[in-house]
Structure 1
Amino acid sequence: MWVLFILISVSLLVASAFLILFIWAVKSGQFDDTQTPSLRMLFDEKRKSTDSEESHKTA
């Protein structure tokens, strides 16, 4: 019977830790912009050429 009390108390501690982390994430703005990251992969960004790329082009 005492194992049941230990398991319930441990599960309540873990659940409360996840709840606290979720509330912290919402308050810190982790879920503010959920649309842009999925659309970012669709747009090509202009890459800056580095010296190594330029040397490969001239060689």
Structure 2
Amino acid sequence: MDVLIYLIPAALFLGLLGLCAFLWSLRKGQYEDLDGAAERILFDEEETPGKDPDRTGRPN
């Protein structure tokens, strides 16, 4: 039971740390555009002339 003296404050500290990280990510706008990444993966990028189709960046 003496272990609870260490575990309860440690659990509260980690919970508070997680809550602070979540609130920080909310303020930085991490959850602003949830559909953008889902839609972006469906569309191909436009190919630039002079590059290989495998997108290695080497000129033809």
> How would you bin the TM-score normalised by the shorter chain?
0.7 to 0.9
Aligned pair 1:52/2:58, yes or no? yes
- Aligned residue pairs total 54
Which structure has the greater CA radius of gyration?
1
- Residue type of the partner of 2:58? S
- Root mean square deviation of aligned Cα: 1.6
After TM superposition, the structure 1 = structure 2 runs for residues 17-56 of structure 1, keeping only pairs within 5 Å, are: 17-48=17-48, 49-50=50-51, 52-54=58-60
Question: Which structure 1 residue ranges, 5 or more long, are not aligned?
Answer: 55-59
Deviating runs (4+, > 4 A) in structure 1?
A: none
Instruction: Tell which has more relative contact order, 1 or 2 (C-alpha 8 A, sep 6+).
Output: 2
> Could you tell me how far apart the structure 2 residues matched to 1:18 and 1:25 are?
11
Question: Which structure 2 residue ranges, 5 or more long, are not aligned?
Answer: 52-56
Corresponding position of 1:57: none
As a proportion of its length, which structure holds more helix? 1
Identity of aligned residues (%): 31
TM-score (norm 1): 0.79
> Could you tell me how far apart the structure 2 residues matched to 1:31 and 1:11 are?
26
